[in-house]
Amino acid sequence: MTRWLTDAEMHTWLGYRRMRALLDLQLTRDLGADSGLSDADYDVLTSVSSAPGRQLRLGELAASIRWSTSRLSHQVTRMAQRGLVARGDSPDDGRGATVALTDAGWATLQAAAVHHVASVRRHFIDVLDEQDVADLGRIADKVLAHLTEATPPTPPRRRRSP
């Protein structure tokens, strides 16, 4: 009953997986070498930096980058120890906590972004032509539309045996 993959489908699937693995590895390596940041660090810094006042509720941040709150809490603890961000209390909710970019965090991100964009261009964007970029954008949109419709962002994921 199983519909196996055709040759073309298999080629695309394996190619995608391999691209994903190697591209990630390369970008992560570049980011670490250039700026001393991990992907996780970079994602957090980027999100916080684009928030109004360069500060965010932990829960909002977690949702926007699709992390578990637990993961984020651990990560923020480590980043705070390194002086990249600072924890604070939420003004409007006694339970709430906020993350804010420190000056050092902001400066680090500024420097990192330049290198990171260059790295993304070098290994990814500049390897593709305009048509490729358009095609991949379209493909990602399709896959994302399916995934975000099937599995709503906030509520708990569907289970096999409830």
Partner DNA sequence: GTAGCGTGCTTGACATGTCAAACAAACTGC
Partner DNA sequence: GCAGTTTGTTTGACATGTCAAGCACGCTAC
- Residue from 52, 53, 66, 94 that binds a second copy (CB under 8 A)? 66
23 counts as binding a second copy under rule CB under 8 A: yes
Minimum distance from residue 75 beta carbon to a second copy (Å): 15
Nearer to a second copy, 77 or 151 (CB): 151
Q: Kindly write out the interface string for residues 10-49 of this chain, putting x where it contacts DNA by CB under 7 A and - elsewhere.
A: ----------------------------x-x---------
CA angle 37, 40, 41 (to 5 degrees): 40
Q: Kindly write out the interface string for residues 59-78 of this chain, putting x where it contacts DNA by CB under 7 A and - elsewhere.
A: xx-x----xxxxxxxxxxxx
What is the 3 state secondary structure string of the chain?
CCCCCCHHHHHHHHHHHHHHHHHHHHHHHHHHHHHCCCHHHHHHHHHHHCCHHHEEEHHHHHHHHCCCHHHHHHHHHHHHHCCCEEEEECCCCCCCEEEEECHHHHHHHHHHHHHHHHHHHHHCHHHCCHHHHHHHHHHHHHHHHHHHHHCCCCCCCCCCCC
In the chain, the N- to C-terminal Cα span, in Å, equals: 26
Minimum distance from residue 136 beta carbon to DNA (Å): 25
Q: Judged by CB under 7 A, how many residues of this single chain contact DNA?
A: 27
Q: Which residues bind DNA (CB under 7 A)?
A: 38, 40, 57-60, 62, 67-78, 87, 90, 93-98
Q: Which residues bind a second copy (CB under 8 A)?
A: 2-5, 8-9, 11-13, 15-16, 18-24, 26, 29, 33-34, 66, 114, 117-118, 120-121, 123-125, 127-128, 130, 132-144, 146-148, 150-151, 157, 159-160
